[in-house]
Amino acid sequence: MRIKDKTIVITGGASGLGLATAAYMVKEKGARVAILDLNLEAGQQAVAELGAEHALFVQTDVSSEESVQAAVDAVMQRFGAIHICINGAAIASGFKLLGKEGRAAPLARFAQATAVNINGVFNVMSKCAEQMARNEAEVGEERGVVINVSSGAAYEGQVGQTAYAASKAAIIGMNMPAARELGAIGVRVNAIAPGLFLTAMVAGLDARVLDSLKEQMEAPRRLGDMREFAHCCAFIVENAYVNAETIRLDGAARLRAR
């Protein structure tokens, strides 16, 4: 699918990899972006940077059906179509099964992670796909593309990442059945499992911590550049034969237990 002049919904798009992808798609590919995020200030700043003619921000709770439906309605009213959906909103919930004094972790902490990281992905994907089905098929075959953001933790979750790793593994599990179902209406579904990227939050860490992280990298021995993630999203969108696939974007790094 060509990206120029297409409308891209990006959840978690007000910061980090989501914001980098939004900027890349607008400035390099000529797309329009709808940023769905809870952070009102960051979302408004993103629109100011990208230009109101190219970007829309809707404050959205992806775990709420009503909030996502309202966001999708706002995107349709503004841009008239949704062609690409990138689900990056997530919470990095870290806690152990057994806490202090060997007490079991509250189920609510696990449910909080799955509400955003699993339910939120399904929620946005399904509502965007409903709109994609109404698009005119490009080159007679494609109406839309969905990219769900998983994580290297889906494969090698660290101690304390039971909830996070499970939720990110679930995204990979969605790939095939969703691609098989939505393929009938010309919508592809893929996932990216990113490793460690040099986001603003990571860049602010102590130099010794950064050096320790780099030691876990194989080749290249550095943290990922956020533009490399954005470029991977563009590749998936533009290559019509990539479907039901999960791309590990991590420089061959494998997370240690701690």
pLDDT of 11-63, one tens digit each?
A: 999 999 999 999 999 999 999 999 999 999 999 999 999 999 999 999 999 99
pLDDT at 33: 98
Position 255 scores a pLDDT of 76
**Catalytically annotated residue among 24, 155, 164, 241:** 164
For residue 146, give the H/E element and its range.
strand 144-149
Share of the chain above pLDDT 90, in %: 83
Kindly report whether the global pTM for this prediction surpasses the value 0.75: yes
Structural domains in the chain, sorted by start: 7-199+225-248 (3.40.50.720)
164 annotated active-site: yes
Mean pLDDT is lowest, of 75-79, 158-162, 176-180, 189-193, for 158-162
pLDDT of residue 135: 98
Which phi and psi (to 5°) does residue 23 adopt? -65, -45
187 within 8 A of 218, measured Cβ to Cβ: no
**Residue 198 pLDDT greater than 90, yes or no:** no
Show contacts of 75-82: CB within 8 Å, 24+ apart. Answer: 75/7, 75/9, 75/34, 76/131, 78/34, 79/7, 79/32, 79/34, 80/7, 81/7, 81/131, 81/134, 81/135, 82/7, 82/9, 82/34, 82/128, 82/131, 82/132, 82/135, 82/144
Average per-residue pLDDT for the chain: 94
pLDDT tens per residue across span 72-129: 999 999 999 999 999 999 998 889 999 988 999 999 999 999 999 999 999 999 999 9
Instruction: Quickly list DSSP for 65-83.
Output: HHHHHHHHHHHHHHHS---
Say if strands 7-11 and 55-59 run parallel, antiparallel, or are unpaired. Answer: unpaired
Is a pLDDT exceeding 80 seen at residue 258?
Answer: no
